[in-house]
């Protein structure tokens, strides 16, 4: 289950704020976003446990065969080139080595 929170504003108004205020606001928006991710993960885990207790089976397939096929087809190398080293490195920090 995913329920996103959108924080919207106009660039013109944002840029009128002093840099120190923008820094504080951005810090707290980012912290709230990370907190929301943790909350959603906890809720998902609780729901999965509850449903499993009620007899629902969950499949957890091994992603490696799919990743190997994508690697062999050049999928990851193509996207790594498009995203660049920095973004690709951040992705691999979360999911492990892909290329």
**Per-residue pLDDT tens digits for 65-81:** 999 999 999 999 999 99
pLDDT confidence tier of residue 2, bands split at 50, 70 and 90: low
**73-to-77, 82, 99 alpha-carbon distances in Å:** 9, 16, 11
- Least confident segment among 1-10, 14-23, 90-99: 1-10
% of the chain with per-residue pLDDT over 90: 85
Where does residue 50 rank: exposed (0-12), middle (13-18), buried (19+ CB within 10 A)?
A: exposed
Helix (H) or strand (E) holding 33: helix 19-53
- pTM assigned to the model: 0.61
């Amino acid at each position: 289950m995913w329920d996103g929170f959108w924080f919207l504003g106009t660039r013109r108004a944002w840029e009128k704020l002093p840099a120190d205020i923008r820094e504080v606001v951005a810090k707290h928006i980012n912290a709230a976003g990370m907190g929301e991710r943790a909350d959603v993960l906890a809720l998902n885990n609780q729901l999965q446990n509850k449903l499993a207790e009620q007899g629902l089976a969950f499949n957890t397939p091994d992603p490696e065969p799919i990743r190997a096929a994508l690697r062999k087809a050049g999928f990851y190398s193509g996207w790594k080139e498009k995203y660049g080293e920095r973004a690709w490195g951040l992705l691999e920090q979360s999911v492990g080595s892909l290329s």
